[in-house]
A = this chain, B = another copy of it.
């Protein structure tokens, strides 16, 4: 067992932090609630961005960039929106620093006070709404299908690396449409994009559904979400897609001249996923030995650990590893990689030119066991061990991070296609494992007592008939720490008794405790 990582069963929260620290994914910053995403963590975000961005473009979206700062008055234009975000706003009030007359430091220059305070965007519906009102004149200008990759800021009391931080990175799609039907189609299309991405790329099974009124986005008509299950039985909202109706169009006067020569308000949507997806990926797949990464987002796909004692053995193993590398990435990349050798002796070889995912050969002056441990804790999906006896046998040992399996592989089998296939197998096995866990952790409740005891004792999702109601949901949350995660799309079609009121309802929901 890893000494620097608490087991999940002892302290799940500490385990999560230990996994992040051991893999050097992120660090706390000197600004409360804000994190530093370290290179190993940021590479996961880059993989997420690359994949999702392609999906957005394939569905006709384009990227743009809107300002970080928003006049405070904009927030106030949509009543529910300001209610939802006012308590979390970082407010800019001055535009200069000056020497602090009382000491050696600096302070805001009182003469630089802004006429109107600006807030750092917690989300950009308001400023984008304002711009859309200027860009959209006619139905011919519609639909507008824009996405933005950026940072946002929501002041949080309790933070947790990746899952809940004051500043986080995300993408926010904002679209405007001629008809309510088109806006609804778009809202669901992007939810599908998120679900397909989470399952394909993060190996994260998700449940699609609608939020109850109590849980929806401030200013939305309807919020849809994808919900994933973590290993401690808590749910995690992994993405949301909002049908904003004409709420923001009214607040920001986004109108178009229709085919009927009349002015109409646009129907708008917004949808987003954030760096919390990295947290979800860590939590869903990792184990007591540290990070386990799905191959599709792993910066390092394969680590080769040589074993040798004498210089003769080293020479023999080196020649073999080089031959192996040539069969995996080609001679040109092997030559290029040799030039990129780090001072400490780790050589990186690019396996995929587009994603920059790499293979490493670890020639550091350290014990093979320590090297294995190093790459294991970083979640590298596959490792290869090569010693003098393997060279003699013309083979190597392949170790899988996920299931700890070992296999002896004849070196002739190794090729780029072989490695890709192995990685696809791992990806599939990770999804299957996560899906099995989730299926085992969806239970039904017929009564409120049963709901309460399932949430307290088993965790996971609890499925039950329930008539959504803001006050009752607040009460249930207080009593069980559980909330309605979603009204899943998959409904029974037959009515049943509401678990709380006993009244007949046709709505089933999923309750869970959540991140």
Contact A69 B119 (CB under 8 A): no
CB of A311 within 8 Å of the partner chain: no
CA–CA, A91 to B140, complex, Å? 42
Tell me the minimal C-beta distance from A64 to chain B in angstroms: 5
Quick one: closest B residue to A182, CB to CB? B343
CB of A330 within 8 Å of the partner chain: no
Interface residues of A: mostly helix, strand, loop or mixed?
mixed
Contact B57 A118 (CB under 8 A): no
CA–CA, A479 to B169, complex, Å? 47
Q: A502 — which chain B residues lie within 8 A by C-beta?
A: none
Contact B95 A155 (CB under 8 A): yes
Tell me the minimal C-beta distance from A152 to chain B in angstroms: 10
Q: A332 — which chain B residues lie within 8 A by C-beta?
A: none
Q: A228 — which chain B residues lie within 8 A by C-beta?
A: none
Interface residues of A in 83-132 (CB under 8 A from B): 86-98, 104-108, 112, 117-120, 127, 130-131
Q: Mark A130-171, 1 if CB is under 8 A from B, else 0.
A: 110011000110110010001101010000000000010100
Q: How large is the interface on A (under 10, 10 to 19, 20 to 34, 35 or more residues)?
A: 35 or more
CB of A407 within 8 Å of the partner chain: no
Tell me the minimal C-beta distance from A455 to chain B in angstroms: 32
CB of A39 within 8 Å of the partner chain: yes
Contact B106 A97 (CB under 8 A): no
Q: A45 — which chain B residues lie within 8 A by C-beta?
A: 65
Contact A90 B88 (CB under 8 A): no
CB of A492 within 8 Å of the partner chain: no
Tell me the minimal C-beta distance from A204 to chain B in angstroms: 22
CA–CA, A138 to B108, complex, Å? 38
CA–CA, A400 to B95, complex, Å? 47
CA–CA, A324 to B294, complex, Å? 41
CB of A12 within 8 Å of the partner chain: no
CA–CA, A43 to B64, complex, Å? 8
Contact B89 A91 (CB under 8 A): no
Contact B31 A69 (CB under 8 A): yes
Contact B150 A70 (CB under 8 A): no
CB of A493 within 8 Å of the partner chain: no
Contact B90 A29 (CB under 8 A): no
CB of A80 within 8 Å of the partner chain: no
CB of A63 within 8 Å of the partner chain: yes
Contact A167 B39 (CB under 8 A): no
The contact of A76 among B30, B106, B153, by CB within 8 Å, is: B106
Answer whether A39 and B146 are a contact pair too, CB < 8 Å, given A89-B95, A91-B92. yes
CB of A197 within 8 Å of the partner chain: no
CB of A486 within 8 Å of the partner chain: no
CB of A22 within 8 Å of the partner chain: no
The contact of A107 among B42, B117, B169, by CB within 8 Å, is: B117
Tell me the minimal C-beta distance from A92 to chain B in angstroms: 5
Quick one: closest B residue to A365, CB to CB? B140
Answer whether A143 and B343 are a contact pair too, CB < 8 Å, given A30-B127, A68-B151, A167-B69. yes
CB of A361 within 8 Å of the partner chain: no
Tell me the minimal C-beta distance from A473 to chain B in angstroms: 25
CB of A344 within 8 Å of the partner chain: yes
CA–CA, A127 to B334, complex, Å? 36
Q: A91 — which chain B residues lie within 8 A by C-beta?
A: 92-97, 108, 112
Q: A108 — which chain B residues lie within 8 A by C-beta?
A: 72, 91, 93, 117
CB of A38 within 8 Å of the partner chain: yes
Contact B86 A64 (CB under 8 A): no
CA–CA, A34 to B117, complex, Å? 15
| A68, A98, A119: residue with the most chain B Cβ atoms closer than 10 Å | A68
CA–CA, A354 to B50, complex, Å? 10
Complex A-B: 25 CB contacts under 8 Å: A29-B66, A30-B127, A34-B67, A34-B68, A34-B69, A35-B67, A36-B66, A39-B146, A42-B63, A46-B63, A54-B356, A60-B340, A67-B167, A69-B153, A72-B105, A76-B104, A86-B98, A87-B97, A89-B96, A91-B94, A93-B94, A93-B108, A97-B119, A142-B343, A150-B151
Instruction: Identify 15 new A-B residue pairs, CB closer than 8 A, beyond the known A60-B340, A86-B106.
Output: A29-B127, A39-B146, A41-B64, A42-B64, A42-B65, A54-B356, A65-B169, A69-B167, A72-B108, A73-B106, A87-B97, A88-B96, A91-B94, A140-B344, A143-B343
